Structure 1
Amino acid sequence: MKTNQSKIAKQVGIALSASIASSVLIATPALAQNANAEASVEKIAVVGTRAAPRSISDSPVPIDIIGGEELAKAGNTDMLELLKGTVPSLNVHTNPISDAASLVRPANLRGLPTDSTLVLLNGKRRHRSSVIAFLGGGINDGAQGPDISVIPSIAMKQVEVLRDGAAAQYGSDAIAGVMNFVLKDDADGGSIVVRSGEYYEGDGATTEVSGNFGMALTDDGFANISFQYKNADATSRSVQRPDAAAFGQAGLNVANPAQIWGSPEVKDDISIFGNFGLDLGNDREAYMFANYSERDIRGGFYYRNPHTRGTVYSLDGGATLLVGDLTPDDGVSCPVIPITSANVTTQQDYIDGVANDPNCFAFNEMIPEGFTPNFGGNITDTSITMGTKGEFKEGALAGIMYDFSGSVGRSESAFLIFNTVNASLGPDTPRDFAPGKYIQLEKNFNADFVKFVDAGFYEEVSIASGLEWHEESFEVIAGDEASFAVGPLTSQGFGIGSNGFPGFQPSAAGVFTRRNAAAYIDAELPISETFLMGAALRYENYDSFGSTTNYKISAQLNATDDLSFRSSISTGFRAPTVGQANVSNVQTNLDGGVLVDSALLPPTNPISAQLGGTELQPEESESFTLGAVYTIGDVFLTVDYYNIQVSDRISQSDKINLTDTDRTALRAAGVPNVDSLQQVSFFTNDFDTTTQGIDLVANYTTDLFDGSSVFSLAYNWNETEVDKFSDITGAFKVKRIEEDLPNHRATATWAQTWDKVSVFTRANYYGEYQGVHVDWDATAVTADAVVTFDVDVSYNFDDNIVLTVGAQNVFDQEAERIQVTDYGRSQGFTDASTFGGQYYETSPMGFNGGLYYVKLAYNF
């Protein structure tokens, strides 16, 4: 990995100068949910250091810690929503119609893609999901991050969010930061929680049962088991599309709404996590943790217009009907049927030439009202990690602490699509298909060592080093034959494969594997009672693109008993995933308001190369942070500035319209269904960005109203600027990266606790953002800032039973409604309901509205 040496030297100088007056800045808005602020400040962090675990006020890096008690008090149990409410720089969108992104929702820390945040479980690297967000809304286009939603909140001892680049410590992906999910390790006790909720609109009903049990594992160990089982109904924030309404008025039996625009249905969502530990004596222990998670998801797709849908109903935008000749060798041709009415099935030429002629076929005979596919799948996530740690007692290694571990993680996405057709099969087409599977499999082996050395400083120097071996594979399994079959009507212009999500062909199936190995050294130097420095260096070699070396320098200084400063400088990287480098797929998306089929090809495919694609290289980053923490009586105030420069960012290219020359080359390369493809995209390293921002957190604890009160304010300003890009990325995608997320976010909370009753109130502020609908610039506007409120009231019947009622977005604040702009009108976007939605899908608060819930917990 090449680096500008003079630039690094300059930044190192800045960092070291700042280090002389720098210290750790740590706090979290989640502290507002804890009545004992002092206890919260003394929480112990594992992430960010390989020395002895530190309280967050002594850590050399900024860390937010959300404790298990805080997570339990929150009304929402979805891990993504919990983190979104407590970490202002984290954004999570509700995806209405987003292909695979509806199955595993992406999350964005500090405005960067979901796979720019490293996820750890008990300090060990978590495998990524098999789902690649092909329609990721600009920022997450093509992102492939871990599936955080499978982690049940009831299993958590705490969640640690390291707000700093850490690739030199942990390897690839830690550009935006690191999230470490720490499992409970109690050997006794537990809880059972039942929760039910529903949106104010009367849909999206969710029922959930979760539990945690701690048990002794012999006299010297523990077994802690957690589970979560839930079902969630779909939501609909739809309006009837004008074209569907017109067909209904013309006598066709069109559903109202014809297209569901909302959150998908989630069924039989089960997660089981186990955490086990055993003391082996003589400062040695064995550990193991594992999970099994599975869920079924089903959501809506776009409505297929029975006059205009290409390669199914028409080939010329609805001027004439697509009619197939079922007996092409009999010498009698089928007629050309112009579409001259609001319902072609009522036209006499259609009745005579198609409906009454068994040799001629149009899909209007089978599905006269059009159709709306449902897309979904079965998502399975499993993992196991085993290891042993302790201290060498004899010989040359005496005094060295060790941690040997191995882990295997697997994510499988089995895709399903319902209520669609393989048009090339004509009247013999099935209506439901299994297009195939993606499987992500990762294996990790780690050997980590720590030695404390007396170097004449205030305390002993911690020197850590280690080795890591990682193997990642991405497997594509072909779909059922009907999902990709080339039917007899192909030559007549009918589309191949299950419409909306064609199946993976056997030629595209296979296992793609990459291996990498790493070595690192990490040191913490307590130079004096008030000054601590840290340094890390990591070398990593991949069998695909080569090697990379990254460093990190951090420092903290306690200027006074009440004032501290901190600073860090680091380089980082994110390796392209094996899936991004090899996957191919056909997807249906709206382009300029028209439903088209687009092929995603590997970047090394000859067609991708013809259009500008090259073999993927790792992203590179340079980060700088500077912060301070100040205690004023009972007020705890922190502020952080960060600057993250990322070059050669990996993303899905803009959709590139195909020419006849391109189609000829595609046919020669063996790409199926070429005539129905309008566009091609591929993954590419095409643009550079600079992200900067400020995190500000303040907490105040006092006695109020004969009870204990904690007030908290958390604010984040985040701004991303695209410094360089080409036409491969496209100007509109750049605009989405820069403007889709709000630049300003804040939360203000008040937690009030009495003997039997506790009340939690939170105000959520979302600044202006770019409202976008159906990924089209003709719909884009600057949406207004908005404030929502959450309220939660709990009553303790005794030490064991707690009843909670509450509401999120209690005043049912509506998301920004879709507007028709002048530019939109000039592009043919005549009505806000054209594509069936009411609200911009980029709304940072979601679009479902208010949610009320009731929860009963039994603790033992």
Structure 2
Amino acid sequence: MKKYNALHRAVKLALTSTATAGLLLSQGVYAEEAEKTVVDKNVEKIAVVGSRAAPRSIGESPVPIDIIGGEELGKSGNTDMLEILKGSVPSLNVHTNPISDAASLVRPANLRGLPSDSTLILLNGKRRHRASVIAFLGGGINDGAQGPDISVIPSIAMKQVEVLRDGAAAQYGSDAIAGVMNFVLKDASEGGSLIVRHGEYYEGDGTSTEVAGNIGLPFTDDGFVNLSFQYKNADATSRSTQRPDAQAFIDAGVTGVGDPAQVWGSPEINDDISLFGNVGLDLTSDSEFYMFGNYSERDVRGGFYYRNPNTRPGVYGGNIRNVNGTNTYRPNDDDPAGQAAWDAATPTILVGSLDGYDQQLNCPLVEIQNGIPDQSALNSLTAANCFAFNQAIPGGFTPNFGGNITDTSLTIGTKGEITDGTFKGVYYDLSGNVGRSESRFFIYNTLNASLGPDSPRDFSPGKYIQLEKNFNVDLSKGFDAGYYSDVNVAGGLEWHEETFEVIAGDEASFKAGPLTDQGFGIGSNGFPGFQPSAAGEYTRRNYAAYVDIEAPFTEDFLMGFALRFEDYDTFGSTTNYKITAQYNATEDLSLRGSVSTGFRAPTVGQANVSNVQTNLSSGVLVDSALLPPTNPISVQLGGKELQPEESSSYTFGAVYSFDNFFFTADYYHIEVDDRISQSDKIELSDADKATLKAAGVPNVDGLAQVSFFTNDFNTTTEGVDIVANYTDELLGGSSTFSLAYNWNETTVTKWSDITGDFKVARLENDLPKHRATLTWAQDWEKFAMFTRVNYYGEYQGVHVDYDATAIMADTTVTVDAEVSYFVTESITLSLGAQNIFDQEAEKLNFTQQSGGIPNNNWGGKYYETSPYGFNGGFYYLKATYNF
């Protein structure tokens, strides 16, 4: 039963009354003026992204662009930029990741149903570096994705966010298959704001507190320094039920079993700080200097799978059994009959000898009776100088996985117009930037079984570091070609270097201890440390040249042409093009469209990383090794050196505007060939294990599966985006109504067994095919109100990445609301809630069975693919001071 205190009830009552006072609508994508030529709130927003010519209004753009203003970003009760954008852009999906390995540290986002690294992220128009975290357990769509960490960007630092919903690799290079997001920093030289926000879920957990600030300062008489910070903490959540096996141990009197033994919920986030700075200075009347960057850091800690003391090989048993003085090993998967005989025999626990391998046979045999080790035999181990982990950790254990994530960047450049000489009239932009992401991993409450009773319980398995450098030269000039206005010709060069570094973990996290030969597992259980042999730097460089032309043939007809050549020192070169057009059919109606090709280069991390993961296979917890695609085992199983993904896409749509009404509708079609993703988990044979041992892979006997990155499947994605916006003076105040709708459908058109049928189902069905948001924002002299309705169509519910749990979940509607009171011109108090009616995620179908295993065997309540999360309603209080 939910725990509501008086404040919960009061908040819910107040916001429900507000939300039901009128139409409940979605967040608009046109909230704050990005740039004004006159003092008129209905002037269209100006976007920089999508064109190399002068910035143009979104209504005149030949490609679809959303603009979310800084004020609108601040109206969300969530402090995570991913969640804020999800409410504004229906084609963007973000999942709450409970037990998802590194994906719980840096959450991936999906624009138009494509993985997170298929959307290019820009900061002030410059390429943003990707995160060092690779989403090894990415929920099908993001398996193996390595995109930028958007969550470090605080909303208070934003002037606006521009979302280009169109392929743009011919303009910006790799990754822009689904589209481009450009985060534009504030550039005011005066004023500022301070925000304090506090909230928690209706369940009484997940309490979060945020303090954020922004200030604009003059930089001499001709420049500005704009600084922002955000600091927040968030408690973990739990949407769990007790596992049946853990409850059975409790009922039998076994100590040390948690309740719940395994937690499904959002991770705990501590000391999450982001500092952003933006500097501009006019050097002359025709040139300026700019510099911007950030420092961000946070600590994240979340749950892992419970280790049942009767079923965890290499720790408690399952691999080796001492029977009548003979070491007996469990047969491998090639011997089903032998496995059946093993399982039918009297179960025993794994007993180790502290005197060494030769003395293991002298240790007492400890049988398991009714799920519990024979206590008298267990008590006799010490006298024989033997041991079992059942003595110290009789109830099993549940590791916690976490990390320290740091993200830094710096961009310096100059831009302006050449006013004399041969290049008179040429606009230039020269810049260089560097970005670095470091992920230091931790795993707590586990052990390195091969070290025996001397094993520590906490480990640092190592680090990943992503370092990127970019240098750009961009030039543009208008030429009189006898058309309606000048033809803009742009061109440029780019040099890019990407380095992925693996740093070894502490010795105990990977060491093969003295009990290795006795059947005990090597390395920190759940996430073995990176060995020194796996450590190293992997670097790739590439350069690009592009040309971009925009020609306004008449007052009503505009066309654009872009061509980009890119050469990589690994897989070679690629050339891509884009053609855009816009035609004003009437004064109020214009038609637009584009045709383009694109690509996404494999990341250096995807091409070189190796790792060991813990995942469920047919209901059993097993260790799975991720190997580089060129590893001998990978090659033997079908792996090849990674090649770039290649895409082709087209869009067409219409823009209609009349007085205070603005409407756009766009259809898109994206085909991606040779998509890069993590392969299906492939069972290891004895021959495979022998090859792995020869290659120096640790703990091979404890590995059940391997996977690798591969170009293995093709997809076709199509959809429709509809955006409508209407403003008027109603109810004695200013009203804005906004609608945004997206239909998106992905079809896997080619794949092999390396990808597997279940992953195909996840790619096609995990995300809702229909999403919509509808908003009413109302402003009065002393009050403001904001209500949003979010619609989510059917989606595939999946639990523990296991195909037997999958169902089709129902359509859902959630409601968000916020009311604000303007205490003074400077102080605003706000009360709000997300999912105000506490709509639950789709509950697990506990009756569904596969091999006799019910879906709730792993302690969850909800399918974690819920597009609106599984934590339920969240309320918050916010105070804002503007100066």
Same fold (TM over 0.5): yes
- Per the alignment, residue 12 of structure 1 pairs with none
CA shift in 2, pair 1:325/1:641, >3 Å: same
In structure 2, the CA distance between the partners of 1:34 and 1:520, relative to structure 1 (3 Å rule), is closer
Determine whether 1:194 maps to 2:196: yes
**1:840 corresponds to 2:863:** yes
Residue in 2 that maps onto 1:856? 879
Distance 1:250 1:312, change over 3 A: same
* Matched residue, 2:19: none
Identity within the alignment, %: 72
Question: Structure 1 residue 310 and structure 2 residue 313: aligned?
Answer: yes
AA partner of residue 168 (structure 2): A
In the other structure, the counterpart of 1:571 is 597
Partners of 2:223 and 2:103 lie apart in 1 by 40
- Matched-pair contact (CA < 8 Å) for 1:778–1:829: no
1:836 maps to a residue whose letter is G
Is the Cα–Cα contact under 8 Å of residues 31 and 69 in structure 2 kept in the other structure?
no
Match runs of 1:455-854 below 5 Å? 455-820=481-846, 824-830=848-854, 832-854=855-877
Q: Distance in 2 between matches of 1:700 and 1:55?
A: 17
- Bigger mean CA offset, 247-256 vs 313-322: 313-322
Deviation at 1:638, TM superposition (A): 1.3
Out of 193-202 and 749-758, give the one that drifted further.
749-758
Task: Give the C-alpha shift of residue 330 in structure 1.
Answer: 5.1
1:727-765 deviation line (CA, Å, top 9, x unaligned): 000000000000000000011111111111011111100
Q: Which is worse superposed, 395-404 or 90-99?
A: 395-404
Per the TM alignment, residue 332 of structure 1 is displaced from its structure 2 partner at its CA by 5.8
> Which residue in 2 is equivalent to 1:233?
235
Q: Are residue 272 (structure 1) and residue 275 (structure 2) matched?
A: yes
| Aligned positions, number | 828
> Hey, what does 1:6 align to over in structure 2?
none
RMSD over aligned Cα atoms: 1.6
> Residue 284 of structure 2: SS of its match in structure 1?
coil
Q: Which structure 2 residues correspond to residues 320-399 of structure 1 after superposition, within 5 A?
A: 320-328=348-356, 329=358, 333-344=362-373, 346-352=374-380, 354=381, 356-399=382-425
For the Cα contact (< 8 Å) 1:195–1:207, is it kept in 2? yes
State the Cα deviation string for residues 47-70 of structure 1 (Å, max 9, x = none): 011111111112222100001111
Aligned to 2:167: 165
What is the DSSP-based 3-state SS (H/G/I as helix, E as strand, rest coil) of the residue aligned with 1:372? coil
Relative distance call for 1:107 and 1:187 in structure 2 (3 A) is: same
Take 2:362 and 2:565, find their aligned partners in 1: how far apart are those partners? 68
Query: What secondary structure, in the 3-state scheme, does the structure 1 residue paired with 2:493 have?
Result: strand
**Residue identity in the other structure for 1:431:** R
How far 1:712 sits from its partner (Å)? 1.4
Consecutive unaligned residues of structure 2, counting only runs of 5 or more, are 1-25, 320-342
1:85 and 2:87 matched: yes
CA 1:422–1:122 in 2, change beyond 3 Å: closer, same or farther? same
**Stretch of structure 1 that moved more, 660-669 or 412-421:** 660-669
Q: Could you tell me how far 1:468 is from its partner in structure 2?
A: 0.2
Q: Structure 2: how far apart are the matches of 1:410 and 1:114?
A: 18
What is the distance in 2 between the residues matched to 1:796 and 1:174? 42
Counterpart of 1:29, as a letter, is G
- Aligned counterparts of 2:33 and 2:103: Cα–Cα separation in 1: 34
CA distance in structure 1 between the aligned counterparts of 2:156 and 2:837, rounded to whole angstroms: 28
Distance 1:468 1:517 in 2: 5
Structure 1 CA distance for aligned equivalents of residues 279 and 299 of structure 2: 29
Cα distance change on mapping 1:710 and 1:282 into 2, 3 Å? closer
In the alignment, the residues of structure 2 paired with residue 840 and residue 781 of structure 1 have an alpha-carbon distance, to the nearest angstrom, of 9
Alpha-carbon distance between aligned partners in 2 of 1:818 and 1:252, rounded to the nearest angstrom: 28
Quick one: structure 1 residues 398 and 326, their matched pair in 2 at CA, closer, same or farther if it must change by over 3 Å?
A: same
- The farther-off stretch of 586-595 and 372-381 is 586-595
Residue among 92, 111, 127 paired with 1:109: 111
Tell me the distance in 2 between the aligned counterparts of 1:610 and 1:434: 32
CA distance in 1 between counterparts of 2:599 and 2:466 reads: 21
TM-score of the aligned structures, taking structure 1 as reference length: 0.95
For 1:405 and 1:32, locate their aligned partners in 2 and report how far apart those are by CA, in whole Å: 31
Q: Is the 8 A contact 1:783 1:816 kept in 2?
A: yes
Between the aligned partners of 2:395 and 2:351, the Cα distance in structure 1 is 16
Greater shift in the superposed pair: 244-253 or 701-710: 701-710
Structure-2 separation of matches of 1:233 and 1:81 = 17
For 1:200 and 1:509, locate their aligned partners in 2 and report how far apart those are by CA, in whole Å. Answer: 45
**What is the aligned partner in structure 2 of residue 31 from structure 1?**
30
* Distance verdict in 2 for CA 1:807–1:691, change over 3 Å: same
Number of the residue aligned with 1:10: none
8 Å contact 1:273–1:289 — kept in the other structure?
yes
Q: Residue type of the partner of 2:29? A: A
Contact persistence 2:27–2:775 (CA under 8 A): no
- The separation in 1 between residues aligned to 2:440 and 2:64, in whole angstroms, is 39
Counterparts of 1:310 and 1:190, CA distance in 2: 58
SS of the residue corresponding to residue 517 of structure 2 reads helix
Amino acid at match of 1:351: N
Moved more, 589-598 or 195-204: 589-598
Asked whether the 8 Å contact 2:96–2:869 carries over to 1, the reply is: yes
The whole-number CA distance in structure 1 between the counterparts of 2:480 and 2:299 is 56
CA contact 2:470–2:495 (8 Å) conserved in 1: yes
Task: Give CA deviations for 1:95-139 in whole Å, capped at 9, x if unaligned.
Answer: 000000000000000000000000000000000000000000000
Contact 1:779 1:820 in 2 (8 A): no
> 3-state SS of the aligned residue for 1:843?
coil
Instruction: Provide, for residues 385-437 of structure 1, a one-character-per-residue CA deviation record: whole Å limited to 9, x for no partner.
Output: 00011112222111111110000000000000000000000001000000000
Aligned-pair CA distance for 1:364 = 0.5
Distance 1:621 1:29 in 2: 30
* TM-aligned CA deviation for residue 827 of structure 1: 2.2
2-structure distance, mates of 1:405, 1:826: 57
| 1:260 lines up with 2:259 in the alignment | no
Gaps of 5+ in 1: 1-26
Q: Secondary structure at the match of 2:229?
A: strand
CA distance in structure 1 between the partners assigned to 2:251 and 2:272 by the alignment: 40
Contact 1:458 1:527 in 2 (8 A): yes
Q: Which residue of 1 aligns with 2:9?
A: none
Alpha-carbon shift at residue 41 of structure 1 (Å): 5.0
Task: Name 1:206's counterpart in structure 2.
Answer: 208
The answer as to 2:122 corresponding to 1:99 is no
Over 3 Å counting, the alpha-carbon distance change for 1:436 and 1:73 in structure 2 is same
Letter in 2 for 1:580: Q
Q: How far off its partner does 1:347 sit?
A: 3.3
In 2, Cα distance between the equivalents of 1:797 and 1:34? 24
CA distance in 1, matches of 2:659, 2:469: 49
What amino acid maps onto 1:265 in structure 2?
E
Change (3 A) 1:193 1:28: closer
Distance 2:359 2:635 in 1: 44
Q: Do the aligned partners of 2:27 and 2:788 also contact (CA within 8 Å) in 1? A: no
Q: What is the identity, as a one-letter code, of the residue corresponding to 1:60?
A: P
Contact kept? 1:187, 1:223, Cα under 8 Å: yes
Q: What is the distance in 2 between the residues matched to 1:647 and 1:445? A: 29
Name the counterpart of 2:324. Answer: none
* One-letter amino acid matched to 2:271: D
Change (3 A) 1:40 1:180: farther
Tell me what 1:154 maps to. 156
Q: Is the 8 A contact 1:34 1:70 kept in 2?
A: no
3-state DSSP of counterpart to 1:403 = strand
